[in-house]
Structure 1
Amino acid sequence: MLLPFALTACGPTGDSLTDISVAPSAPAIFNYAVNGSKNKKLTFEIDNPGASANLTLLQGEQVLIDNLNIPRNGTQTLNALVHFQALGETRLQLRTINSPVTIKSLEIEDVPHVAVPQFKDISVRAGLDKVNSLKYGGPSVADIDQDGDYDFILNNHNAETSKIYWNNGDGTVTKHKDDLSRWFMQDLHGTALGDYDNDGDLDMLLSRGGGNGTNPSVSYFYRNNDSNFVRYTGDVGIERGGRGRGARYIDMDLDGDLDLLLVNETGLANQTPQHLFYENNGQGGFTYKSVAGIQDVRSSRTLVTDLDGDNIEDIVMYGPLSIWQGNGDFTYTNISDSIPDAIRELSSVMAITDIDIDNDGDLDLYLARGKEFEHGKGETPSVDFDPIARNFSLKTRGYKGVDEFSFTASGPLKWHNYQFLGQNGFRGKAHPIFLGKDKTVNDVPAEGTLEFDKTMAQGWPDDISANGVYLGHIGNNKWRGALVRNGDIFWSYFFTLSGVEEAETHFEPENRNIQDILLENKEGQFVDVTSQWNIPLGGNALGVTTGDFNNDGQQDLFVYRWGLVEKRISDLMLLNTGNGAFETVTMHGASDLGGSGFGDMGQAFDFDLDGNLDILSGSEYGQWYLYNNQPIGDNHYALVNVGYSPQDNVDAIGAQVTIETPLATYVKRVGSAGEVFSQSLLNIVHFGLGSEQKIKRIHVRWRNGETATFVDKQADNMFDTDKLDATALAINTQGLAPRSGDEVQLTATLAPLNAQQDVSWQSSHPSVANISKTGLLQVVGKAGESTTITATTNKGKISDTAQITVSQWYEKPLEAIQLSAAKPNLIAGDELTLSATFTPENPDNDQLKWISSAPQIATVDTKGNLHALTAGSVTVTAKAEANPSIQGSIDFDVQADVKPFIKIDNLAQFINQPVHAGDTFEVHVSYHAGPGHTVIAADEGGLRVWLRHFKYRWFPIEDRIETDKSVLYTVSGNSTATLSTQGLVPSDELPEGQFYSLEVSFTNSNGKTFEDAIEEFILIE
């Protein structure tokens, strides 16, 4: 209905309304004249008679404020920012859900100086797979291939595989050729990226679940070999398992290389240590290390940060919350007393980000809190009822119990938005929906629908003791419903029932609101400033990320809200005003409003390197979204690409970047933008600079103390530590005595070591010697003539000169030859060109005669092109044409082009003479890893032979495994394993659907796994 309320003046920049009644079935509609700024702050004083509610503001069909949380009973004050598209008269509508409310006052005021960012969904255009999936605590974002832009891993949980996407640099991505799941429903968790072997690309740690605590799993370690990820888990020394949740690369002993922390959930038997620490041994592997105190913390979520600014990384463990100060020697000190007692005792911390809220140079903490998506034993169901849309939605915990409700529906009904995930023997089983007194059975699968009406569901059954959903029409359009579970049979369960006109639950629905916390770092002590900084009341957050979304120089927050049972609601963008407060924006474009799923976690980063932070977000049970930040306003930015340190080649993790402008100083640390189970490496560091266009100084400090500096720079550019401004330049002329007709490549040495190599060259007398842009000197003058060569860099600020005099003619015979090739080992069929290096450079006669010692194995032509023909060894020699005694040689091993394989050699024996149950038997295997490759441990440990007992395809009951480690790092050979069938019954005595399988497998150094199997291995009596 249209309210008779009129806006009344409330000062020079504001308006107000009072005493507005809003009910779920009766929105409040009123007229409003938009004057002054299009950006408004709305402040509501609300009286809520219910337990909780949500408030939405619309302008026609456009949502201006989406589902502000009204978290509790009684009077409370809420506020949010709104951006109107146009000035002038408009009609607004207020809606509520789950409880009627009275808006005691509504004040509207101008906020012209806050730039409200707007985002656009580019997921499809960019090339992301659009598929619904379970998530696992956000993506990992990093420049995995070190080509100067951000790639990412999308971490899914089980049914949908986790995936790597490569940034193409043109606004699109390409999915990696291999999925990260090795089989369907593999239990994958968080990922971490870091360069453990210092080879210039990022290696990956992929955490694995531990069978709900019953089967501890070893996390996968993947070495990045030129963007081919090879599973080197056992080869690098990672052998201990757990209930894996996440991993972190940290330099825990400050020796310059990256160590590993594997974060686990508490085991069912409270095994210790809970968390696993591995020291990088500097030889391509890790050594397990016990770290007292922190290794037994009963938390499974982690944030790596530097809270005391000592350039030694600290660890925040949470769920429950504790802080561990890094000492730089593989020990940690518990400094949790720096947190207020009341905060330390809080439960339900789901995500944390570090953020410098006040630009004072130290890191504060934002704690996103919410009800766990799974678990929550003892909680009543979450319920939403929208009488306008006629949708009744319910999400119950999957534990033993009965949830009853009543509703009114005069027309047809639709059961949809249906998801359930079984456990404790109920995975893959139907959960029947019984209609009416006769309990007509409907087996509706997850994601399925059921349409019905009262004629199909008359009456209420006498017995509702069996597992299932019961729905019955009891007369006069009145219905009853019950969800019955006779055990803890579901991880999660929810649905929406459409066509419902009125609804009532026979329980008090769960109040999903729980308060986020903002902690300010004040000289090492954390102070709760949640209320002071205007953090929104209530909510149910599963994630948080951070960045300067409007480039005003202040760090903002993006909070992922779980939302309604029926549909996705907007996530919250908290814009930092720079005046000690955040302002809340719900309509920013970076949410799948009304879509499927629930808010989970994401990362803020500059995907397209345009100076505006984009957002990569995941929705639990929904999709992945890449949101592009649409430029607004005139604010400026700087990007600092932190590479490896110039002397010791230390990677960027933990580096500190400081930017000084005429008016402010900004400090950021290279790491993640918030962490739950995964770790990012955001080394292209983004700074918003507000109105400032000049940068006085950029200072980068790596964790080993090395530094790099830029001075007097213009904003709105990227600055690369591999392209520093040169401070000194010297032309290299030692031993230079050019003759007329010579061509000589000149070089210059620049300081610092990682200075940008943008040298320009000039000759004062080109008639004596001219020089190209790349420094190639061509001597054309006569003996005794001279020219001055000038080399210049850093936009002409740094230069050096060298006088070049043409020498009298002298002979320059070839004295030595050194041969090289791109690879020492060849496969039959390979072709490559050999390279020859001469001493001295540019001899008078560099013609060579090429000779193969075994032309039947490999031939070489007159230009040094080698063609490998067959397996064997060969030596290629190059002799100087002018003096054959001057020669160089290179040796090659040519391997046969054999396709990798593994084979059960006595397979026919098992078919013709089946094994008796209770006996032992031998399996004979032959294998070949392929030319140029060897057998590696991966996570199998070597060549594996396993007898598998399956409940049904492919859910194993038991595996009996023998692993041959003697074949490690060999190319080919044979192996024998002995297996026992003691305790197994003959195949024909197995329950229906069960069977045995015999499998053999190994992984080669190219990361490929090869298998052979008898899929149904018969045991006889």
Structure 2
Amino acid sequence: MGTGVGWIDYDQDGLMDLFFVQSAATDIYKPPHPLRCALYHNNGDGTFTDVTAKTGVAGEGHYGQGVAVADYDNDGYPDLYVTGYGRAILYHNNGDGTFTDVTVKAGVVDEGNWSTSAGWFDYDKDGWLDLVVTNYIDWSPQNNMWCGEHRPGYRSYCHPGNYKGQKTKLYHNNHDGTFTDVSDASGVGKPESKGMGVVLADFNNDGWPDIAVANDSWPNFLFLNKHDGTFQDVSFVSGIAASEDGRYEAGMGIDAADVSGDGFQDIYITHLDFELNRLYHNNHDGTFTDDTFRSGIGNKAILLSGVSAKFLDYDNDGWPDILQLNGAMLDNIQLYHGEVAYKEPLLMFRNLGKGIFDKVSDSLGPDFLRPIAGRGLATADYDNDGDIDIVTNNRGEYPSLLRNDGGNANHWLEILLIGTKSNRDGIGASLKLTAEGVSHVEQSKGGMSYMSASDPRIHFGLGKHSKIDSLEITWPSGQIDRLTNVPIDKINAVKEGAGIVAKNFPKIPSTQPASSQPASKPASK
């Protein structure tokens, strides 16, 4: 399954730092050297420094899987939630360059579960971030059955259908550093799940955040927020639970964006080889249409295993593109399917406008051609130059840090939200940008991708528009801020009720090399 990766400006210096999740030894997995998570500080010159030991986030002995980043206690510093097998860890950011493990005190251990992805959102709009955790299957070394042929080298991972699924968890923030498990009471935890990815967004534009979960060989979930602390399961009636022909596919990565410019969030879900990666178009009435072929994506990745997916406007033309990280789950896959590789290249689908896509990976440089066993994927403008960069966590080898120096040929705008009445991160806000009469809507979402966390700043590609008419921000609290004369080609911090406020975002010179060497070579399963 591999592990995730997250961007976090842990010291609030205006530069995105990097957190890599790592697994650990188990009864049936003995790595050749000790494993730990790793936090790298962005030095502002294109290099990173390993600060894991002094920050206290190594997590030795914890079989980590994914990461979610947000400021859950509204103190101005982002915190880390690390999912994993058997338990999870919540690291509170102390604001002095260190973190404290507060998992037990906070009540979010998720004991005995195999947690994968997680995301923060304010589902009841009380100004405090709540936590969604996707859990996978009830597997243990004791029930680890043999799958595959009974001859050397042919053993394979068992299909998740052989195991019982676990609950999706929802933890309500009590405003005092603790959380209450409201999974069953809210309706989110009632159906059995085999969750891999989650995205938290407002899918019906009613101003309340909803939950979409990618499940592995199990119906995908869509829970609509009922505004009373509960959710309605509309997975099947919405059309995203199964493929167009009614099959439950191996859902892994998931993300949401308005790909057609109609103001509603569409959904993209990745799957294993011989299954299609699905683009679901939002019909504005609570239902979705499978647009995979109409969009031009079709079966162009039919032999690839899509693990992670992320929407990003890599060329700043104003249309969200699709980045997909691939890699088969079985390292011996070619013994069973000679036409399928274990290591596979990245994919980029460029949005030509109105949700029509063209595969352009081959034109984006040699790193898009290099086969990797990709797992976690996250995006950020780590050099603060206005175009979106990429980091991937790869199984059994070093991560990949891909710096984008082409997208800023077009104009752009980035917004860091600072909530006051709303949660500090402004998660759940809707931003409507109008430039020369053309409007584009973005949301500040939770979750996304596969076990990973991306840059929280909202990015707008402006194409050739040299100015914007207005930026209207609807905060989770209901506060609406309408800004004019917003400077473009820069990152702006916007405070709820106050408008643009001063904050420094140092720009890294493009002549400097990017460096992302990990503390130790990953060996995660």
Superposition TM-score tier, normalisation by shorter sequence: 0.7 to 0.9
Q: Which amino acid aligns with 2:449?
A: E
> Which residue of structure 1 lines up, in the alignment, with residue 134 of structure 2?
263
Helix, strand or coil for the counterpart of 1:234? helix
Q: What secondary structure sits across from 1:196 in the alignment?
A: coil
Name the structure where strand makes up a greater proportion of residues: 1
Q: Secondary structure at the match of 2:189?
A: helix
Establish whether residue 232 from structure 1 lines up as the match of residue 102 from structure 2. yes
Contact 2:269–2:279 (8 Å) recurs in 1: yes
Per-residue CA deviations over 1:157-179 (Å, capped at 9, x if unaligned) read 33542212222333222222326
Give yes or no for contact 1:603–1:673 (8 Å, CA) kept in 2.
no
Post-superposition CA distance 1:632-690 (Å, at most 9, x none): 68421111121223x5664321222221001411111113583223344x332111111
Deviations 1:809-861 (A, max 9, x none): xxxxxxxxxxxxxxxxxxxxxxxxxxxxxxxxxxxxxxxxxxxxxxxxxxxxx
Residue number in structure 2 paired with 1:165: 40
What's the Cα RMSD here? Answer: 2.8
* Shift of residue 182, structure 1, vs aligned partner: 3.9
**Residue 532 of structure 1 is aligned with which of 287, 294, 297?**
294
Q: Which runs of 5+ in 1 are unaligned?
A: 1-133, 211-216, 371-511, 725-751, 759-1021
1-side partners of 2:366 and 2:298: how far apart?
A: 18
Cα shift at 1:623: 1.9
Name the SS for the 1:317 alignment partner: strand
Letter of the 1:367 partner, please give it: I
Quick check: 1:568–1:593 contact (8 Å CA) kept in 2?
A: no
Q: Secondary structure at the match of 1:235?
A: helix
Does the residue aligned with 1:545 lie in a helix, a strand or coil?
strand
Normalised by the size of structure 1, how large is the TM-score? Answer: 0.41
> Cα deviation per residue 1:418-477 (whole Å; 9 max; x = unaligned)?
xxxxxxxxxxxxxxxxxxxxxxxxxxxxxxxxxxxxxxxxxxxxxxxxxxxxxxxxxxxx
Higher relative contact order, chain-length normalized (CA < 8 Å, sep 6+): 2
Closer, same or farther: CA 688–757 of 1 in aligned 2, 3 Å? closer
Structure 1 or 2, whichever has the larger Rg, is 1
Matches within 5 A, 1:540-551: 540-551=305-316
1:674 aligns with 2:439: no
Query: What is the CA distance between 1:245 and its match in structure 2?
Result: 2.1
The C-alpha deviation readout for 1:46-97, integer Å capped at 9, x for no partner, is xxxxxxxxxxxxxxxxxxxxxxxxxxxxxxxxxxxxxxxxxxxxxxxxxxxx
Q: Which residue of 1 is the match for residue 175 of structure 2? A: 282
- After superposition, where does 1:632-711 map in structure 2 within 5 Å? 634-645=409-420, 647=421, 650-671=424-445, 674-680=448-454, 682-711=455-484
1:190 equivalent in structure 2: 66
What percent identity do the matched residue pairs reach? 26
Structure 2 gaps of 5+ residues are 25-30, 144-162, 335-340, 504-525
Q: Deviations over 1:595-624 (max 9, x none)?
A: 6x4122312221111111111112222221
Aligned residue number for residue 316 of structure 1: 212
**Gap change, CA 1:755 and 1:363, over 3 Å in 2:** closer
Q: Which of the residues 263, 281, 286 maps onto 1:520?
A: 281
1:614 aligns with 2:389: yes
* Alpha-carbon distance change, 643 to 347 in structure 1, aligned in 2, over 3 angstroms: same
Question: Matches of residues 62-141 of structure 1 in structure 2 within 5 Å?
Answer: 135-136=2-3, 138-141=4-7
Q: Distance in 1 between matches of 2:327 and 2:422?
A: 45
Aligned to 1:355: 257
Q: Following the alignment from structure 1 to structure 2, what is the Cα–Cα distance between the partners of residues 757 and 349? A: 42
Match in the other structure for 1:720: 493
Q: How does 1:589-608 map to 2 (within 5 A)?
A: 589=365, 591=367, 593-594=369-370, 597-608=372-383
Residue 180 and residue 592 in structure 1: after superposition, are their counterparts in 2 closer, same or farther (change >3 A)?
Answer: farther
Aligned 1:335-734 pairs, distance under 5 A: 335-336=234-235, 337-339=237-239, 342-343=243-244, 345-370=247-272, 512-523=273-284, 524-537=286-299, 538=302, 539-562=304-327, 568-578=343-353, 580-587=355-362, 588-589=364-365, 591=367, 593-594=369-370, 597-631=372-406, 634-645=409-420, 647=421, 650-671=424-445, 674-680=448-454, 682-722=455-495
Following the alignment from structure 1 to structure 2, what is the Cα–Cα distance between the partners of residues 182 and 192?
15
Report the more deviating stretch, 515-524 or 558-567.
Answer: 558-567
Distance 1:655 1:144, change over 3 A: farther
Alpha carbons of structure 1 residues 633 and 351: separation in structure 2 relative to 1, 3 Å: closer
Give the letter aligned to residue 247 of structure 2: E
Residue deviations 1:859-902, cap 9 Å, x none?
xxxxxxxxxxxxxxxxxxxxxxxxxxxxxxxxxxxxxxxxxxxx
| SS in structure 2 at match of 1:642 | strand
541 and 630 in structure 1: CA distance in 2 versus 1, 3 angstrom threshold: same
CA deviation profile, 1:733-775 (whole Å, cap 9, x unmatched):
xxxxxxxxxxxxxxxxxxx6456479xxxxxxxxxxxxxxxxx
Q: Map of 1:992-1011 to 2, 5 A cutoff?
A: none
Cα separation, 2, equivalents of 1:147 and 1:329: 38
Secondary structure of the corresponding residue to residue 322 of structure 2: strand
CA distance in 2, matches of 1:695, 1:315: 32
CA shift in 2, pair 1:180/1:650, >3 Å: closer
Task: Provide the rounded CA distance (Å) in 2 between the counterparts of 1:684 and 1:633.
Answer: 16
Change (3 A) 1:342 1:164: same
Contact 1:135/1:155 (<8 A) preserved: no
**Cα offset, 1:327, TM superposition:** 2.3
Separation in structure 2 between the aligned mates of residue 228 and residue 633 of structure 1, nearest angstrom: 34
Q: State how far apart, in whole Å, the 2-side matches of 1:157 and 1:590 are.
A: 29
Residue identity in the other structure for 1:561: N
With the length of structure 2 as denominator, give the TM-score of the two structures: 0.78
